[in-house]
Amino acid sequence: MPKYFLLTLIISLMLAAGCGKDKSRDNTQTSGTKEQEQVNDNDTAEMTPAEIFAEALVQNVINDENEPELEDFIAESLYTKLSASPKVTMDRVSSSLFIIKYFENGAEKNLLLQKYYNPKEDEIFFETSETQFSNTKLFLK
């Protein structure tokens, strides 16, 4: 009988020690996940208002996460003009043409934004022009 008691005690201790190791691994993974979330939160905190504005237009309005050049252009070139507007929207007309609608002094304004590729320099750049056409004037004739 003492043999079985001693054997049961040893097996119980081994199982308890093994379960304790799994819990410590789980805690490590959880803290690693929390640290990763904090890093992600810090990334957003480091963005400028212009970058947040551009990201909102490109990723949330036209629903495209693969246009970093467009985001950069909006943040650097158009933010000061568009940020004073009470509302701004953006539509993709084609893969290289966008229309941005905003308001300036109560008047509706529209910008055509054209995306170009320069093969000599291997770079993408954008040009804007004001237009009298809006989405409804262009597509609902």
Please check whether residue 7 lies inside any domain of the structure: no
Question: Is 10 contained in some domain?
Answer: no
Torsion of CA 89, 93, 96, 97, to 10 degrees: -60
Number of other residues whose CB lies within 10 A of the CB of residue 50? 19
112 in a domain, yes or no? yes
- Asked if the structure places residue 31 within a domain, the reply is no
Residue 126: its H or E element: strand 123-131
The tokens describing 118, both together, are 């320069």
Q: What is the pLDDT of residues 94-127, one digit of tens each?
A: 899 999 999 998 899 999 999 999 999 999 999 9
pLDDT > 80? residue 93: yes
Tell whether 32 is covered by a domain: no
Residue 89 lies in a domain: yes
* Tally of structural domains, the chain: 1
Segments forming the whole domain that contains residue 69: 49-139
